[in-house]
Amino acid sequence: MNLNQLKTGIQGMAAVFGFSLFLTACNNSDESANNSTTGDATADTMTANTRTGADTMTRTAKKRTGKISASTMKDDPSLKIAKDKMGIYTRTDVAPAYMGGQSGLEEYIVNNLEYPQDAIDNNVEGVVNVQFAVDEKGNITNVSTVGNKLGHGLEEEAIKIVSAMPKWTPGQVKGKNVKTWRMLPINYRLES
């Protein structure tokens, strides 16, 4: 074997070795890509399964809802029949009344008041005390809430609904229609 043949043989082996390294590198790169793709596919599958699981959980979990009830407070008989600084009576001989009676009032509140979604999402429940006046013509005025605030839209919703109530039969003192304060506790409760 002469030097040229040996040189050609070594170059051939180097070329084969180099090509072999190239193929191995490409194959590993492809495997990495395949593993990466497989990993991504697995991740995608896991994400899809997670999403499906979440969707399934969302579909099977009961959505929380709210229940609302209301009833006017009875007059305190120990209070004197007198006007306050605003000229509104705190107690009268004949109390103001919702046109449909107590059951009609509760029906009005339940059918018109919406439990705010923000309150439901934040598990807020409790009583909102709405104070308002019934004027001499039965109109609702001076609507506000008193006591501890629950927040999350509960007070605003209660004020909105009470302000929109139809006329009441006005309160009376000595047979004359007068402005009278009323208190309406609205009870918000969550249900599962």
75 and 126 share a domain?
A: yes
CATH of the domain at 133: 3.30.2420.10
73 and 49 share a domain?
A: no
Q: Which tokens go with 132?
A: 């308002």
Would you say 105 and 68 are in contact if contact means Cβ atoms under 8 Å apart? no
18 and 47 share a domain?
A: yes
Helices (H), the chain: 3-60, 101-112, 117-121, 154-163
89 and 10 share a domain?
A: no
pTM (2 d.p.):
0.63
End residue of a domain, out of 32, 61, 90: 61
- The pLDDT tens digits for 65-79 are 676 667 667 777 888
Domain that holds residue 21: 1-61
- The pLDDT tens digits for 121-158 are 989 989 999 999 999 999 999 999 999 998 999 999 99
Structure-token match 């009875």, residue found: 74
